[in-house]
Amino acid sequence: MKLETRAVHAGDRKRSGSWIPITAPIHTAVSYFYPDAADLDRVFAEELSGPSYARHGSPNNAGLEELVASLESGHGALACSSGMAALHLAILAALLDRRRVVLAASALYGATINMLMKVLEPSGIEVFFVDFCDESAVAAAIAEHKPGALLVETISNPLLRVAPIDRIAALAKEANAALIVDSTFSTPMITRPLEWGATFTVHSLTKYLSGHGDVMGGIVVTDEANLNQLRALSRSLGPILGPFEAYLCMRGIKSFPLRMERQCANACRIASWLATHPAVERVYFPADPTHPDAANIQRLFAPGLYGAMVSFEARNAGREEIFRLMNAFHLVVPATSLGDVHTMALYPVMASHRDLSPKHRARLGIKDNLLRLSIGVEAIEDIVADIDQALQTAIG
C-alpha cells in the first residue's frame, strides 16, 4: 500500500471479541490480566502479544507504533512522552553495546545540543561535533573518535542543511556505529532514513505527524536487531506515551499526508516570494537551486517535496526589530513549536537555540536577524499578506 493509505489504515481496527471498532478506543488501564495466568506469563516473556503493564505500553501505543513503523519502513517503534525523550532513549539504546562516544552534527536543535553537552557528557558519554555536510570531515572524525553512535537531523534546525545520510550510514556501518536520525522536519513523506541505512529514526510526534498543536509525544523507529534493547531500556526508564496522547497522535497522522503536501507547496511559494522582498536579506529553503546541499536533496528527497520550514534573515534587523516583527503578525502564530496546521514563527535566538552562547550561535550561522517560519495549510494569499504587512510594519 502507498504511504497515504497506510497513514489512514495501519495500526487501527483491531478485533475485540466479535466486533471491530472503526478507530482505536482509548485504554486507560494501568495493568491487564488474562483468564489463564500462563498467558500473562507468556506476555511478560514476549512469547505472546498483548498488554501487561502500562509502563511497558498500551493497546493505544501499540497501534501508534505499528502505524509509524509502517510509514518509516521500520521493524518496530516505541512511542515516548516527547521528542526529546525519544531521542534520549535512542542514544542510550545505541550505546548499550557500543563505545560510549557520540559523534553529532554541529547543526542541531538547541535542546539536543544541551542534552548532549549538559546531560550525556557529565554522565560519562563523550560527545564530539562535526559538520555532517562535509563527508570527508565525518569520515576523519569517525576514524579519530571511534564513536558508538552518530547523530544528525534530516533537515537541520534552523538553517535547513541536508547531510548525505546515505553515505554517512555507510560510514557508520563500516565503523560498527549506530546512525540516529532526527527526521522531524522531513517526515516519512519526504525521506525515510531507515531505507538509506540509518539504525534509528526519531520524530517529535508533536510536530507534523500529529499536526494540530494539541499533543506532546515522540517516537523511535528501528530495525529488528535493535528493537528488543530499545524496549528493554524503556521498561526500566519509563518514558512511555500515555494512551490518550497516543490516540490523538494516531488521529492526527490520518490526515498528515494531505497536510504535508499542502504545507510543502505553500512553503515553496513563501520562500520564492521572500527572496524578492526588499526587507529580506537572505532566505534558507531546501528547494533553492543554489542550496549548498542541492545534490543530497535531489538524491534523498521525494520529488517536489522540500519540507515546510522556511528561515530568513531580515535586512538591517536585530532583536528589537525581530520582536516588532513577531508582534506585528495577525495570522502567523509567534509560538514555540512547528508543524501545526497554522503558520508559525519562531525566533531561534530567543527560543530553540536560546541556551547556546552568542559565540556558539555565531559559529552555527544563527544570527540575531534570523526568523524561522513553519508554514501552515492556510490560503497562500493570506499567509503572504500577513508576513508582508508585518515586514513593512517592523522592518520597513
Tens digits of pLDDT across the chain (396 residues): 999 999 999 998 876 667 888 888 999 999 999 999 999 899 888 889 889 999 999 999 999 999 999 999 999 999 999 999 999 999 999 999 999 999 999 999 999 999 999 999 999 999 999 999 999 999 999 999 999 999 999 999 999 999 999 999 999 999 999 999 999 999 999 999 999 999 999 999 999 999 999 999 999 999 999 999 999 999 999 999 999 999 999 999 999 999 999 999 999 999 999 999 999 999 999 999 999 999 999 999 999 999 999 999 999 999 999 999 999 999 999 998 999 999 999 999 998 888 888 898 989 899 999 999 999 999 999 999 999 999 999 987
How, if at all, do strands 218-222 and 76-80 pair?
Answer: antiparallel
State the burial class of residue 16 (Cβ atoms within 10 Å of its Cβ: 0-12, 13-18, 19+): exposed
Which CA distances in Å does 213 have to 158, 207, 321, 395? Answer: 19, 7, 27, 29
| Contact indicator for 378, 331 with CB cutoff of 8 Å | yes
Q: Show the cell assigned to 337.
A: 513549536
**Confidence at residue 185, expressed as pLDDT on a 0 to 100 scale:** 98
Domain with CATH 3.90.1150.10 in the chain: 256-394
Per-residue pLDDT, 46: 83
pLDDT at 14: 76
Domain boundaries for CATH 3.40.640.10 within the chain: 3-253
Smallest CA-to-CA distance from 197 within 257, 152, 161 is with 152
Instruction: Give residue 28's identity as a one-letter amino acid code.
Output: T
CATH of domain 256-394: 3.90.1150.10
pLDDT (0 to 100) of residue 17? 67
Instruction: Specify the pTM.
Output: 0.96
Confidence at residue 68, expressed as pLDDT on a 0 to 100 scale: 98
The arrangement of secondary structure in 3-253, i.e. its CATH architecture, is 3-Layer(aba) Sandwich (3.40)
Report residue 160 as a C-alpha cell: 535547513
Rounded Cα distance between 283 and 192, Å, is: 26
> How high is the pLDDT of residue 12?
87
